[in-house]
Structure 1
């Protein structure tokens, strides 16, 4: 009897060894994901990311728990051989130090579940919910925030010009005469993208859509979010540019209105897919001993490639230690020792970190020779330290330089945080996502220096000295 088909055989008809194999496979897989579960618990509770994934996880588990009502054919089972191969690969990746990005390991673990667990029809939607259960928002902000803002700026410019308003676009900035309106990081539409994808995944699982139709629904959700975010940016351009005066609730109100329209479109398209029947279903190409062997070899080759890649990861050239400035805006920078937590972070950071006292403010400088996720926005660290953060409009200082701005709150006190990322040739970005893509597209422009200024204040304009 093939071990891959054990899940389809009643338990009482199996030999003692065959009955023990699925249990051993589950235990092995559980051990292989223990470091991942520890990381997940820390990430969803330390405030560095929004805990939206917990909602998706609960819904995915509920979908699985209620799946048996459709009959015995739809009950959950496992393929022990596949699960053992997946456990071995995940153990090799984690305990062997092949891959150092827990989020990617989490995606591999979910792929292993999809490959090794027999689920009811609608499996694609459940797997999508498991992907959304990962702490994705901060990473999406970092990697996808700037491209989504660029697209929103293009759509907004098109719509405004179509309405007879002569605006010009410069990156993610809209120039309206002498007024500058920025499409800031919160305007990237990341949260609208997550909620729309979540609704699409729930509908796909509930309607038991095939893999292809689930992917089609998620693609439509993405397209609706992109268009909707551009429309929302065009609407809020008017109060932000001073052309009209709206009450404070109008800005979030416009966002909710567009968000509702996007969700209605997702519901409508899901209904059309549900009416289309199963004609788009994909054949289970992974079944059969020969195909299983091919997939297993492919997984091992991917793991070997990741291992080789980890051996040749780029590091700063020897002798490239940073020379830090001694003045900022005419005021001396007094070097300060890094805290134990900062020292721990600096040991894994692909570059150099320094901290200074600047009057009543604290200045942190990070210098990197490569595009890296570890050059994250300061708001991530502040939230992990227990601060409540709010994004502010892009700030222009007395020298005409643009800075990203945010407000940090804790224990009734307020801090203004200004941040900018500057390349060796002087090109500057006001947020981490924009910097990352500039560094990826122009790797020879480095090294890059991120300067973060944190000072107690009650006025967002109180920056220049």
Structure 2
């Protein structure tokens, strides 16, 4: 019975199955390379910024699978833009250049949606495609880093202020802290950009999962609070790192900076996002209704 059901499914959707197998053969090794780099931290620093793909890519696949019946009900329609995107993705993939091959994945998936189901298919799969695009390793962090100097200065100043409150000898100069005559730099990679990317990415997933995205007010407040939480969390982390380094606690510094202490910090931050969105759902109305008392109007 089960075998017959699978056979009927194969007969009904041969094109989709063939495309899925082709994509698995083409991009399976690339995805395994990403996953290995994210898990073992053997990928470039810029590409580590996209390690949120470990949870985002499976979630995107789950959403696409949940929408399979809606997808099948759409009328087949070829959009010429999709053919162009597939052509560009093919050129990028065959180039052999790492970044171009990476970008070819979201381009290919978007092109396939447009070719098979037109703009209706693109609208249906817009969110999982967005998750794939935002999890695709690129040089975007490298391009953004030169513009986050004000954030580095702010974090250094805040960390220095907190350490002074605990009686630590600190001198702050731009993005540098001198803690007990031990220099500490709030470098671009230490300014919390990776955690900010991860927090916003997971925040988008939570917005979709909870349905909060339907309210502009709740969405705006949640994303603003997510950014603030990420910055505050990174100030605390840099304060601890500066304290550990300045007081010669190298083991604690390495634990929080490069070992599983950093993973624990990330897990706590993501857990707080769940608490945050539950608070938004409970205490923030979906819309603000202004009531006017016409009797008191002059």
Normalised by the size of structure 1, how large is the TM-score?
0.40
- Max radius of gyration: which structure? 1
1:237 aligns with 2:242: yes
Describe how 1:258-269 pairs up with structure 2 within 5 A: 258-269=265-276
Aligned to 2:154: 154
Is 1:40 the counterpart of 2:35? The answer is no
| Pair 1:209–1:140, CA change in 2 (3 A) | same
The answer to whether residue 136 in structure 2 is matched with residue 131 in structure 1 is no
Q: Is the 8 A contact 1:56 1:129 kept in 2?
A: yes
CA-CA distance at 1:90 after TM superposition:
0.6
1:85 equivalent in alignment to 2:92 = no
Higher fraction of helix: 2
Is the 1:159–1:234 Cα contact (8 Å) retained in structure 2? Answer: yes
**Structure 2 unaligned regions, length at least 5:** 1-11, 289-298
Structure 2 counterpart of 1:180 = 183
Correspondence 1:226 to 2:231? yes
Q: Which residues in structure 2 correspond to 1:5-404 (within 5 Å)? A: 37=27, 40-41=30-31, 43-44=33-34, 47-48=42-43, 49=47, 53-66=53-66, 75-77=70-72, 78=74, 80-81=76-77, 84-94=79-89, 101-109=100-108, 116-117=121-122, 119=124, 124=127, 126-135=128-137, 139=139, 141-145=141-145, 147=147, 151-161=151-161, 163=164, 166-170=170-174, 172-176=175-179, 178-184=181-187, 187-210=190-213, 212=216, 217-218=222-223, 220-242=225-247, 245=249, 248=252, 251-252=255-256, 255=262, 258-275=265-282
SS in 1 for 2:177: strand
The Cα offsets for residues 373-409 of structure 1, whole Å up to 9 and x where unpaired, read as xxxxxxxxxxxxxxxxxxxxxxxxxxxxxxxxxxxxx
Q: Is the Cα–Cα contact under 8 Å of residues 32 and 90 in structure 1 kept in the other structure?
A: no
CA distances 1:320-349 after superposition (whole Å, capped 9, x unpaired): xxxxxxxxxxxxxxxxxxxxxxxxxxxxxx
For CA contacts below 8 A with separation 6 or more, give which structure has more relative contact order: 2
TM-score normalized with structure 2 length: 0.57
**Structure 1 alignment gaps of length 5 or more:** 1-19, 281-465
1:259 Cα offset (Å): 3.5
* Structure whose residues are more often strand by fraction: 1
User: CA offset at residue 197 of structure 1?
Assistant: 3.7
Q: Aligned to 2:207, what secondary structure does the other structure show?
A: helix
Q: CA deviation at 1:233?
A: 0.5
